[in-house]
Amino acid sequence: MKHALITGITGQDGSYLAEFLLGKPDYTVHGLVRRSSTLNRQRIDHLTSDPELRERFHLHYADLADASSLAMLVETLQPDEVYNLGAQSHVRVSFDQPIYTADVVGTGTMRILEAVRHLNRTKAVRFYQASSSEMYGSAPPPQTMETPFHPRSPYACAKLYGHWQTVNYREAYGLFACSGILFNHESPRRGESFVTRKITLGATRIKEGLQKKLVMGNIDSKRDWGFAGDYVRAMWMMLQQDKPDDYIVATGETYTVRQFLEWTFGMLDLDYRDYVEFDPRYMRPSEVDVLLGDPSKAKAVLGWEPEVDIHGLIKMMVENDLEIARREKYAQGYQTV
Ligand code: NDP
Ligand code: GDR
């Protein structure tokens, strides 16, 4: 039995990765959760409540800001694989909370790397670091493994620190440590304040008459959007190689937020221009204009291929959020179709 420890298990990627690993009969999954006053485990409820997984799925309290909790957890569990997905992951929010973001995202990575390095065991632990295309920032597209980084937010700077620490722990201590430079990936489980989910939730609520307008920031920026379910598979593949290395995971296609709006509203027979308003509140002090990743190394070495394209992704998210909007409407006492 392999033991995997996932930080960020309550998040989008953590939930998909846990599901993916538990789909393999030889994995026990341990998730790090932090204490909150209300439970925030909706994305993993189906796993915690599955009686068949009772022996193979466990949650433990710890925090990336708390080195001793990480050291204790890693020492107690003796994991074979550690996936560090925990983060204050919102770029816009990182401008409001730069020091907290640096602590959790940057130093937090260092804390868990230290816990892994000091683990008293002979068999090598495999470590995955959730790095980000945001590290490329203003570097011109396409961004490849050779493109120099130019981060444009406190979040991106903190991720870059985590990335280089991961590389350094590999080089200095021989740790099996991989940094996955993942471009944007979305799903029906995407956090509601990220742009794609904000759009699919807003458009479906507008369709059901629950909302009149959708207020947005810069809709001319371009992103390389994939499906989170495809991307967690790449994380696992990196840790199954003979040698540790870093990889870009992306689709190799880029679209504007405006196009995402057009396709989402179009799928609901609506014209986004009738509903979208601009609010400077959603602008960032420094924006990342175009992200377009080159996934050729991941494809060639890992054999990774994405299975969902942008239109499949939008369809999946719209169907999910239409269902949510209809339930909300029904709860309000309207007649539903
Ligand atoms: P989410 O924001 O959905 O999830 C973040 C997770 O981190 C949550 O489980 C959250 O817990 C946890 N977390 C936050 N702060 C702490 C802390 N102090 N200690 C322990 N855990 C903490 O992110 P995603 O799932 O989208 O992303 C996963 C990782 O991949 C993140 O590191 C992100 O920065 C990175 N990434 C994401 C990309 C994307 O497009 N999604 C692209 C590239 C990188 P809680 O539920 O309690 O808040
Ligand atoms: P990003 O994702 O910053 O790329 O980081 P996000 O969805 O927040 O923004 C994408 C682009 O959309 C523009 N935008 C808006 N964004 C939000 N959130 N809300 C709006 O109303 C809005 N209007 C326009 C943004 O300015 C931006 O250009 C995500 C996160 O998951 C990171 O953790 C991850 O590392 C990167 O993707 C890769």
Mean pLDDT of the region 94-117: 98
Distance 81 CA to ligand 2 centre (A): 29
Amino acid residing at 29: V
* Separation of alpha carbons 179 and 144, rounded Å: 14
271-314 pLDDT, tens digit per residue, is 999 999 999 999 999 999 999 999 999 999 999 999 999 999 99
9-18 pLDDT, tens digit per residue, is 999 999 999 9
Residue with tokens 């990196």: 238
Q: Are residues 46 and 18 in the same domain?
A: yes
Q: Are residues 261 and 119 in the same domain?
A: no
Q: What is the pTM of this model?
A: 0.98
* Separation of alpha carbons 186 and 145, rounded Å: 22
Q: Are residues 206 and 244 in the same domain?
A: no
The pLDDT assigned to 124 comes to: 82
* Separation of alpha carbons 88 and 98, rounded Å: 10
**What is the domain-level CATH number for residue 202?**
3.90.25.10
Q: Are residues 98 and 40 in the same domain?
A: yes
The pLDDT assigned to 335 comes to: 54
Q: Are residues 154 and 181 in the same domain?
A: yes
pLDDT tops 90 at residue 222:
yes
Distance 211 CA to ligand 1 centre (A): 28
**What is the domain-level CATH number for residue 183?**
3.40.50.720
Active site residue 155: yes
Residue 215: how many other CB atoms lie within 10 Å: 13
**Residue 295 resides in a domain:** no
Q: What is the number of structural domains in the chain?
A: 2
pLDDT tops 70 at residue 177:
yes
**Is the CB of 5 inside a 6 Å radius of any atom of ligand 2?**
no
**Residue 298 resides in a domain:** no
Confidence of residue 40 (pLDDT cuts 50, 70, 90): very high
For CA atoms 47, 48, 54, 56, give the dihedral sign. Answer: positive
Least confident interval from 74-88, 120-134, 176-190, 290-304: 120-134
Residue with tokens 């006053």: 37
**Residue 212 resides in a domain:** yes
Mean pLDDT of all residues in the chain?
97
Active site residue 134: yes
Q: Are 304 and 186 in contact (CB under 8 A)?
A: no
Mean pLDDT of the region 225-234: 98
Closest by alpha carbon to 226, among 247, 254, 246, 201? 254
- Among 7, 47, 89, residue to substitute to test ligand 1 (most atoms within 8 Å of Cβ): 89
The pLDDT assigned to 225 comes to: 98
**Is the CB of 221 inside a 6 Å radius of any atom of ligand 2?**
yes
Amino acid residing at 176: F
Q: Are residues 143 and 278 in the same domain?
A: no
Q: Are residues 60 and 140 in the same domain?
A: yes
**Is the CB of 257 inside a 6 Å radius of any atom of ligand 2?**
yes
Q: Are residues 261 and 236 in the same domain?
A: no
Distance 183 CA to ligand 2 centre (A): 11
- The burial class, CB within 10 Å (0-12 / 13-18 / 19+), for 9 is buried
**Residue 87 resides in a domain:** yes
* Separation of alpha carbons 230 and 185, rounded Å: 9
Q: Are 173 and 117 in contact (CB under 8 A)?
A: yes
- Among 157, 183, 185, 194, residue to substitute to test ligand 2 (most atoms within 8 Å of Cβ): 194
The pLDDT assigned to 333 comes to: 79
Q: Are residues 42 and 146 in the same domain?
A: yes
Torsion angle of C-alpha atoms 223, 309, 244, 32, degrees rounded to 10: 80
**Residue 124 resides in a domain:** yes
Mean pLDDT of the region 87-100: 98
% residues pLDDT > 70 (the chain): 98
Closest by alpha carbon to 94, among 160, 139, 158? 158
Closest by alpha carbon to 143, among 251, 7, 256? 251
114-173 pLDDT, tens digit per residue, is 999 998 765 689 999 999 999 999 999 999 999 999 999 999 999 999 999 999 999 999
Q: Are residues 284 and 175 in the same domain?
A: no
pLDDT tops 70 at residue 337:
no
pLDDT tops 80 at residue 216:
yes
Active site residue 132: yes
Ligand nearest to the CA of 152: 2
The pLDDT assigned to 334 comes to: 59
**Residue 244 resides in a domain:** yes
pLDDT tops 60 at residue 54:
yes
The pLDDT assigned to 229 comes to: 98
Domain coverage including residue 111: 2-187+225-249
| Residue located nearest, by CA, to atom 18 of ligand 1 | 64
Q: Are residues 26 and 82 in the same domain?
A: yes
Q: Are residues 141 and 265 in the same domain?
A: no
**Residue 299 resides in a domain:** no
Q: Which residues line ligand 1 (CB under 6 A)?
A: 7-14, 32, 34, 36, 40, 63-65, 85-89, 104, 130, 132, 182, 184-185, 191
Distance 11 CA to ligand 1 centre (A): 5
| Half-sphere exposure of residue 315: CA atoms within 13 angstroms, side-chain side | 5
Mean pLDDT of the region 238-254: 98
Mean pLDDT of the region 225-229: 98
**Residue 302 resides in a domain:** no
